[in-house]
């Protein structure tokens, strides 16, 4: 996670709930909840459950985002509020998908 002043921070991870994306499961659920918390408070604790994030953030974290994709606060807020945002471009076989 990169803070507004440009500092890169390690995302807090609960010892039991893993952080992941790109499928429908506990990893994306944990990531969605973590994003939801961090949008309100950059010092928020790690996700301690896999449920509780808004549906839009759950959907966002289940998408197969390309490696090193930057998700702006604007994109995250749009997803959290259920507004439209730019989805990732599907990778092709030529890209090594």
What pLDDT, on a 0 to 100 scale, did the predictor assign at position 74? Answer: 94
67 part of a folded domain? yes
The first and second tokens of residue 94, run together, are: 């030529």
Can you tell me which residue has the tokens 């994109």? 75
Question: Does residue 97 sit within a domain?
Answer: no
pLDDT score for 11? 62
pLDDT at position 48, please?
85
Mean pLDDT of the 5-12 span: 66
- Where does the chain have alpha helices with state H? 26-40, 55-62, 73-80
User: Exposure pattern of 21-46 as b/e (b: 16+ CB <10 Å)?
Assistant: beeeebbbbbbbbbbbbbeeeeeeeb
Q: Does 94 fall in a domain?
A: no
Instruction: Give how many domains the chain has, as a whole number.
Output: 1
Q: What pTM did the predictor assign?
A: 0.76
Range of the domain at 24: 1-88
How confident is the model over 68-97, as a mean pLDDT? 81
Q: What is the pLDDT of residues 11-67, one digit of tens each?
A: 655 566 677 888 888 889 999 999 999 999 988 888 888 889 999 999 999 998 887
Residue 96 lies in a domain: no
Mean pLDDT value across residues 57-82: 91
pLDDT at 14: 58
pLDDT of res. 13: 56
- What is the per-residue pLDDT for 89? 78
């Amino acid at each position: 996670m990169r803070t507004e002043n440009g500092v890169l921070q390690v995302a807090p991870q609960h010892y039991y709930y893993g952080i992941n994306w790109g499928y429908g499961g506990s990893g994306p659920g944990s990531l969605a909840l973590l994003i939801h918390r961090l949008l309100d408070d950059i010092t928020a604790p790690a996700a301690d459950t896999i449920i509780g994030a808004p549906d839009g953030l759950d959907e966002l974290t289940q998408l197969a985002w390309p490696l090193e994709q930057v998700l702006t606060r604007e994109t995250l807020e749009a997803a959290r509020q259920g507004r439209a945002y730019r989805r990732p471009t599907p990778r092709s076989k030529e890209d090594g998908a």
